[in-house]
Amino acid sequence: MTHQIRVSDKSGMPVLGMHITESHAEFDEQLHETLRHGCCHFELPTYGQLPQHCLYHVIRFAHKKQLGKHNFFITTSIPVPGDIEIIMAELRHLKNWLGYPFDLVYLENPVGLRGSDPMTLYGVGPDGTTPRLQHVRDLFQRRDGGNRYLTVTPDCITEDLRAVWTFMERMVLMDGLAHALGLKHFSADQIACVLKGAVCRPEAVMVEINAYNPATEIIELCRKHCIPVVAAHPFGNPHHEPSNKIPRLLDHPSVVRIGNKVGVAGHVILVRALLQAGLRVVFTNTELLHASFLLQNIFRFTLSQGQMNQLGRLHKLYLTRPLPTFEFRCVLDPMWPFLIYDDGDGGGDDDDDGGDEGRREQCSEEQMNDDEAEQSTESPWASSSSSEAESGEKEDESAVISQDDGGLQKGHLNVQSTTSIRS
């Protein structure tokens, strides 16, 4: 028996896809295996020869198997900040090369992925100058002429977040470059801000979600608005530095133990847990060079509730790590690095609480309260009943791979035969 995944948001977006970030020695073989085993969702980079190379293989495979464009789901992303003229020219070029609009284009927060380097935002400013920065705090603060600092937006991001989204609606959707828009690596506050003033709401939200980082707040917000959530980096944050207390997610004893009992690798376990939680998953092509085993076995077993609960508690371990300076500053200014104009009053929030030290103390209290609240909240795929968790762990019903060699037949990665997101 082949176990399939159904999601409740009624979107035709495939539940499993691959993000193409860079080429490697086995790239052509990897792409061929992925296509052969039924994967039809690909997120492409915007620049360079790699997207054209990938599209060439996809189109060639489609012609060979007599498949149409409705059998594939092609997305890309626009990072902010960036040279918008160059980005739009690349999008038009790829759209013409593909022969039809992208199914979805993400607006990507440049510092939204935990652990990314915010200093890269200040490579070269709009005026061609390079600001002098020595510390991460310099990204957030400027002296106001007195003795206190003000939280600011980087010089290279001069637009309100809502204005950026309006630009996307006008230049990407109305120009026919894409069927839909999405958000990538945005916080819950930023997503809510976009929803507040959007004419065309986001049709998908991609964010880092894994056993260490369940992103519960974002999932609840998106489900409230019936927006599909796509889990990026299911095998753990690429910037995570393993330690004895918080090992690499794939090496965590719980993941290894469940994988050994089921008879599959940890990659399959982590992706299966996210799919059973009702999420879509996109893995990076450099994180999983040989995807055939994952695609062959991901729908052939089901994790028990006890196993899901074990994975669901791993995020509490990650909460014990020290909060880096950059993440702490993002708590101080949840909308950073974007400007937010509230109802046209023309500026950010004024700090009247006595300067940065007051905000730091207030933030520390809020952070501790948030940590306590998050520790008392199970992740999305954990059972809400502690008794069920205990009984599930005692029973620990082993998820055995079916002997049915159906694998990924055509359509297994699609929720519906027609993609309503394109309408």
**DSSP secondary structure, 2-47, as one string:** ------SS-----SEEEE-----TTHHHHHHHHHHTT--EEEE-SS
How many CB atoms lie under 10 A from the CB of residue 290?
12
Percent of the chain clearing pLDDT 90 (strictly above): 37
Closest CA to 36 of 408, 419, 297, 412: 408
* pLDDT at residue 253 in the model: 95
> What's the rounded Cα separation, in Å, for the pair 325 and 257?
34
* pLDDT at residue 395 in the model: 43
At 190 the three-state DSSP class reads: helix
- With 0-12 / 13-18 / 19 or more C-beta atoms within 10 angstroms meaning exposed / middle / buried, residue 32 is middle
The mean pLDDT of the chain is 76
pLDDT in tens, 136-158: 777 776 655 555 556 666 666 66
Poorest-pLDDT segment among 22-31, 244-253, 396-405: 396-405
The predicted model gives 209-219 an average pLDDT of 94
**DSSP secondary structure, 213-246, as one string:** ---HHHHHHHHHTT--EEEE-TT--TT----SSS
Structural domains present in the chain: 16-404 (3.20.20.100)
- Tokens in use for 140? 């957030």
13: pLDDT confidence band, cut at 50, 70 and 90?
A: confident
Q: Are 353 and 359 contacting, i.e. CB atoms less than 8 angstroms apart?
A: yes
pTM recorded for the entire structure? 0.78
The alpha carbon dihedral of 318, 320, 326, 331 has a sign of positive
pLDDT in tens, 268-320: 999 999 999 999 999 999 888 888 888 888 988 999 999 999 999 998 877 77
Name the DSSP class of 141.
Answer: E
Beta-strand ranges (E) seen in 255-381 are 280-284
Q: Interhelix angle for 161-168 vs 188-197, to 10°?
A: 60
The predicted model gives 10-30 an average pLDDT of 87
Residue bearing the bigger pLDDT, 131 or 267: 267
Which pairing describes strands 149-151 and 141-143: parallel, antiparallel, or unpaired?
antiparallel
> What's the rounded Cα separation, in Å, for the pair 192 and 196?
6
Residues 6+ apart with CB under 8 A from 72: 40, 41, 42, 58, 62
Torsion angle (degrees, nearest 10) of CA 352, 356, 361, 366: 70
- Name the amino acid, one letter, at 400: V
Q: Are 420 and 11 contacting, i.e. CB atoms less than 8 angstroms apart?
A: yes
pLDDT in tens, 159-187: 678 888 988 999 999 899 999 999 999 99
- Tokens in use for 345? 């009053």
Which residues are paired to 283 by β-bridges? 18
421 has pLDDT over 90: no
The predicted model gives 224-238 an average pLDDT of 94
Q: Are 303 and 399 contacting, i.e. CB atoms less than 8 angstroms apart?
A: yes
**Scanning the structure block, which residue is given the tokens 């790829």?**
94
- Tokens in use for 249? 């997610």
How many CB atoms lie under 10 A from the CB of residue 192?
14
* pLDDT at residue 342 in the model: 52
382 phi, psi to nearest 5 deg: -90, 150
212 has pLDDT over 90: yes
* pLDDT at residue 392 in the model: 47
- Tokens in use for 330? 């993002």
The predicted model gives 220-238 an average pLDDT of 94
Q: Are 280 and 383 contacting, i.e. CB atoms less than 8 angstroms apart?
A: no
The predicted model gives 407-414 an average pLDDT of 33
CA dist 199 to 154, 183, 313, Å?
Answer: 26, 15, 38
- With 0-12 / 13-18 / 19 or more C-beta atoms within 10 angstroms meaning exposed / middle / buried, residue 369 is exposed
Three-class secondary structure assignment of 104-156: EEEEECCCCCCCCCHHHHHCCCCCCCCCCCCCHHHHCEEECCCCCEEECCCCC
136 phi, psi to nearest 5 deg: -60, -35
Q: What b/e string do you get for 72-91 counting C-beta neighbours within 10 Å, with b at 16 or more? A: bbbbbbbebbeeeeebbebb
pLDDT in tens, 353-378: 333 344 334 434 444 444 444 444 44
